[in-house]
Chains A and B, each alone.
Chain A
Amino acid sequence: MTRYVLQRLFGMLTVMFTVVTIVFVIVRVAPGDPAAVMLGPDATPADIDVLRVRLGLDQSLPVQYLYFLAQLARGDLGHSIFLDMPVAAALLDRAEPTFFLTVFAILIASAIALPVGIMSAYKRGSFFDQSVTTLTMLAASIPSFWLGLILIQVFAVRFGWFPVAGYGGPDASFLTRMSHLVLPAVALGVVSSALITRFTRASMLDVLNDDYVRTARSKGMGEFRVIMKHAFKNALIPVLTVVGLTAALLVSGAVVTETVFSLPGVGNLVVSAVLRRDYPVIQGALLVIAAIYVLINFGIDLLYLMIDPRVRY
């Protein structure tokens, strides 16, 4: 068990290290002088030089890399040029809507996907199952930002049930803020439910004919308990893996969905940073989001420990 945890921990750290390196490479492949690009065409050569020194761009690449690692090790994600504040602080400022949006979307997606996927596998080949297969494929084809716009048209503009956009202004109560997240979370959740449904169905199909499910039935147990207690728990492991993998997709979707609904989240921050060539912000956001993804998957590896005794050695 300790070995398993250590193995996963080591795996996570190596992936994280590679992530950091990739981010470093991406930002340095930019053609031309990043300092000049960042400051725009009106900058004087003197300004550019000052920025170059500040960013450490006057050093050789290996030195820059070490400098970058040392900085990260101190928990320093760099300094936003445009906002003139630490990147970490800027990200933290924008974390709330993104966090809740992602959580709600996962909840909505799972609330749709798990029952539907289980039922679909259980009723394999039925009209219900075929409809589900078709609908999930359709849902996976819808761009979440487009669905967001349609939801705005219908539920915000026409019916007026939900706010059109924004996050309710600076003094909005928590509840008001959350009400701004309903439509974006639905848009995102529906689109992400497709993948989870398909995986739930597939892994349920894998276990439904397993011998221990038949054993459970042979005890005289009711179907619902057989399915949930014996089959689903065994199907849960692959499903969890997918939910973890979907987390990355979800963040992707969140970036775009935030723009649709003008939510002041991390996605919005990144998009404006791209338009302003605020590289430190892009770099920091990439790092943090990849780190969260890696952490979630590490967490899921630990969850296996709780679910599957075979992993515990």
Chain B
Amino acid sequence: MAMSTPNAGNHPDALADDIVLRADNLRTHFIMGARAAKSVDGVTLTVRRGQTLAVVGESGSGKSVTSLSIMRLLAHPGRIVGGRLLYRMRDGGVVDLATLSDKRMRAIRGKEIAMIFQEPMTSLNPLYTVGDQIMEMIRLHEPVDRHEARTRARRMLELVEIPAPDKRLDQYPHEMSGGMRQRVMIALALACNPALLIADEPTTALDVTIQAQILDLMRRLQREIGMSILFVTHNLGVVAEIAHEVAVMYAGRVVEQAPVHDLFARPRHPYTKGLLACIPDAKRDRADDGTRKMLNPIPGSVPSVLALPAGCAFAPRCPLAEPHCETAPPELLNASPEHLTRCWRHELL
């Protein structure tokens, strides 16, 4: 079997000019006494300047933990135990977020990298007005007075298409709907013009029409502002709409990263292939007599992060698995120059 060259970073500190963030074999564990939940255990992904990287994966695959690791906002007892998070600052310098001091990290949060969370209903402080919360962000990073901060906050609300922004500034979160609050969160995140926006399932908690509006909004904002986005979702339909590239996560690892068209056209990991087969498709799912066929979900279940198998974590469910897969964890291999996969047998796909 002809093996592709492993994509081991030969020049770890060299971050190509067009790359904003690269996670290199990131490992984040929740350490509880003698046990460790290896929620993230080998995440390698790349976000390019001005582009959107979608991170997809089932619930529990470690998407949120990856995002929080980048922001260094992990809740106790979560800890980054290995790997690197290389980030290119706006001034061109490259830092490793995994080991940066708390103080320098604070200067990066909000200013360089901002985050929108999965839970729009609870992510705003109920005791302060929306305006105060946006102004707080601006004044943390920029030497502006209250008046100017308020003007800027108002402009942010306009940017995210919130009607009657003057009135809204003085309202409290409980006076707004979920979609409105998520818009406020976006306004908040973008208030200091971050170079990288991490959006952790920003639309999952919202209903479908609102979801579409928020996605439109984010797409437009990216065009206008030119920031990079790391967009977490488990909805492949959303991926097709918004992403340039896709990283697929399974059991704490990125198992495949590729440009969105390549990935949809020819997935090079059996898990991704299984995922794509789960997307409802009106034509394919229709039997000859016109009735709907059953979707074919991947058999078996995700291994617990407390007890990951020694080899490939997907091997127990994989139709292509061979004995070798059970023992040796696959490295990220180049299936094509831009297409990375963690499958020993990707050539069969």
Contact = CB atoms under 8 A, between A and B. Distances in A.
B127 A211 contact: no
Given A219-B110, A220-B110, A309-B174, A210 B122 contact: yes
Interface residues of A, number: 21
Contacts of A217: 73, 109
B125 A215 contact: yes
Nearest to A222: B106
Contacts of B264: none
Interface stretch (B88-96, B134-142, B255-263): B134-142
B125 A218 contact: no
B258 to A, nearest CB: 29
Contacts of A307: 127
A230 B114 CA distance: 18
A310 interface: yes
A310 B172 contact: yes
Interface in A211-235: 211-212, 214-222, 230, 233-234
B297 interface: no
Contacts of B117: 211, 214-215, 218
Interface string B166-195: 000000101000000000010010000000
A218 B188 CA distance: 10
B5 to A, nearest CB: 38
A212 B73 contact: no
Contact residues of A: prevailing secondary structure: helix
A2 interface: no
B125 A309 contact: no
Contact of A220 (B106, B123, B124): B106
Contacts of A308: 126-127
B124 A221 contact: no
Residue of A216, A220, A233, A309 with most partner-chain B CB within 10 A:
A220
Contact of B174 (A211, A219, A310): A310
B125 A221 contact: no
Contacts of B110: 218-220
A209 interface: yes
Contact of A233 (B108, B115, B127): B127
A215 B124 contact: yes
Contacts of B76: 124
A171 to B, nearest CB: 50
Interface in A172-226: 209-212, 214-222
B107 interface: yes
B111 interface: yes
B61 to A, nearest CB: 20
B126 A211 contact: no
Contact of B75 (A209, A219, A234, A309): A209
Residue of A214, A216, A222 with most partner-chain B CB within 10 A:
A214
Question: Which 6 residue pairs of A and B lie closest in terms of their CB atoms, listed nearest first?
Answer: A220-B109, A220-B110, A212-B125, A211-B122, A309-B172, A219-B110
